[in-house]
Structure 1
């Protein structure tokens, strides 16, 4: 008797939480990621490998609890395609490693703006792979977005305090393509109702691909020091576990236009936090470029009709 009442109560409590608040909280968690990466001082491969490995002890129990929760509802586990999730996870490892390199090169805020170009890349991939319709408004937003990317990269007015704005821009855009691929494969491979399970599997696969890429790039330091491990553990908890699960839980219940708009809090928050915490002040042109990118992505995301799960699993 007590056992049957308890799940109903917890379900009722979950339903009372506004999904927009969950998505906003998740976006703000992810906005902290580039700050924590920069504070760790770790190389791209090192930061990504530890981010994934330190997140798994939290994600695995969440996945097991989700498995137990879904089994009584369906009578058996809903069918998915785990190999597609693994492919997506390998792309996620590439995304996070390249993005970390972009953070070092162009700064936390600008790199986060650029990597969120995935919100526009994803519809193009969905069109090529799934045959989903691409609206005229999407095509109109692309040249505006590319102009904003050029400004944000520091091509006008210098790169500000960025170490290498052009290289950072290239890395961030490559990361955006990998990120969009991750979202697409996660969407194709996840079963209905699954959130933590696919994220856990993708995180394990990301640890593998980030180790390979990091080893070939700047190396992976398996003993980065306790200070770096502390920042990376905080990154794993806030950016990898809390952020992704909150966003997945909130955006699954939101229209895609609302959810995609909320995701744009990530680059805005990262730019502001980069200025406040790290003293990374972009030039006026870079700030204008960031604003243009955000506006173009918001326009494209607001007008396209995508299922929520494609955006729900984002970084």
Structure 2
């Protein structure tokens, strides 16, 4: 897992390149396993997220060392003195906030509402990129984003009983904004840092934030079964190293609109995995919404030609 080119060349790449697209799709496939594996955890939600980050760190250090060597041999000792440090740290803090707010929202609102609100984060990141970073968004990407949003609305099922805004929905909104901030900060950090470097710094910052949350909230901290440890190790290697690591590669190479469209597909991928793992039947809403989202992803291929 590596950046094929240095960040100095990334600016000269086409608007969409196949390496970035492939990395982003693979990242979403890995992230889609997060709710599946987390269901088997035997510790508190914030503790699950903390251990997920901690078990990813050794692999991220090896990846960062290897990538730094290929890019010119900058040692990891200079990690804190390189440009983009503030953005990478803020990305990590925002990521820890996203995890904490989302898990706090679930007991207080419907899964449909929480899913719908939190999945608006990639769209919010596109708006933020347009306003703050002056991103240009192609008309076809905007159309695909609209199709994907319709798919999210249908998949979540929130339209059935109307949409309400209670305390849980406010927490889900905070989670969505946190993840949107994470995506924007990650893009800023990637303009001056390699993917592994950004992932390592943001993961360390997120782990520290989650540890503080765990200490405040309490609950079971240490897994007490072999399965419990296997779950957090799997979350670290699959969802954090592969998921967030490859997404950092993709975010550094793709426009924000296409990143958002691909990220919107992970709930339907989680539902498909849940069908095979737990035998949970896919509803008509999930099938129709999922087809729309996947169709929007395919539209990004048209944008490449």
Given the two structures, how large is their TM-score scaled by the length of structure 1?
A: 0.69
How far 1:228 sits from its partner (Å)? Answer: 1.7
1:155 & 1:250 partners in 2: Cα distance?
32
Structure 1 position 40 matched with structure 2 position 41: yes
Counterparts of 1:91-110 in structure 2 under 5 Å? 91-101=94-104
**Partner of residue 176, structure 1:** 176
- CA distances 1:42-78 after superposition (whole Å, capped 9, x unpaired): 32211111111111111112112222221259xx999
Residue 89 (structure 2) pairs with residue 86 (structure 1): yes
The residue that corresponds to 2:188 in the other structure is 188
**Structure 2 residue 64 is the aligned partner of structure 1 residue 63:** yes
Unmatched tracts of structure 1, length 5 or more:
1-9, 12-17, 160-164, 306-315
| 1:231 correspondence with 2:234 | no
Instruction: Please report how far the alpha carbon of residue 40 of structure 1 lies from its aligned counterpart in structure 2 after TM superposition.
Output: 1.3
Residue by residue over 1:205-231, the C-alpha shift from the partner in whole angstroms, topping out at 9 and shown as x without a partner, is 1112222334444x3533231322210
- Matches for 1:1-315 after TM superposition, within 5 Å: 19=19, 20-71=21-72, 79-101=82-104, 114-132=117-135, 145=149, 149=153, 152=156, 154=158, 156=160, 170-192=170-192, 194-217=194-217, 219-226=218-225, 227-249=227-249, 252-253=252-253, 259-281=259-281, 284=284, 294=293
Shift of 1:118: 1.9
Q: Would you say how many aligned residue pairs link Structure 1 and Structure 2?
A: 278
Q: SS of the counterpart of 1:121?
A: helix
User: Does the 8 Å CA contact 1:90/1:206 hold for their aligned counterparts?
Assistant: yes
Q: In structure 2, how many angstroms separate the alpha carbons of the residues matched to 1:112 and 1:264? A: 11
Q: Say what the alpha-carbon RMSD is for the aligned residues.
A: 4.3
**CA 1:275 to 1:252, structure 2 compared with 1: closer, same or farther past 3 Å?**
same
TM-score (norm 2): 0.70
Classify 1:34/1:168 alpha carbon distance in 2 versus 1 (closer, same or farther; 3 Å).
farther
Once the two structures are superposed, residues 166-193 of structure 1 have per-residue CA deviations (whole angstroms, 9 ceiling, x without a partner) of 7765544432211110111122223546
Structure 2 CA distance, aligned partners of 1:102 and 1:141? 26
Counterpart-to-counterpart distance in 2, 1:173 and 1:24: 25
User: Unaligned regions of 5+ residues in structure 2, if any?
Assistant: 6-17
Per mean C-alpha deviation after superposition, the further-off stretch among 195-204 and 175-184 is: 175-184
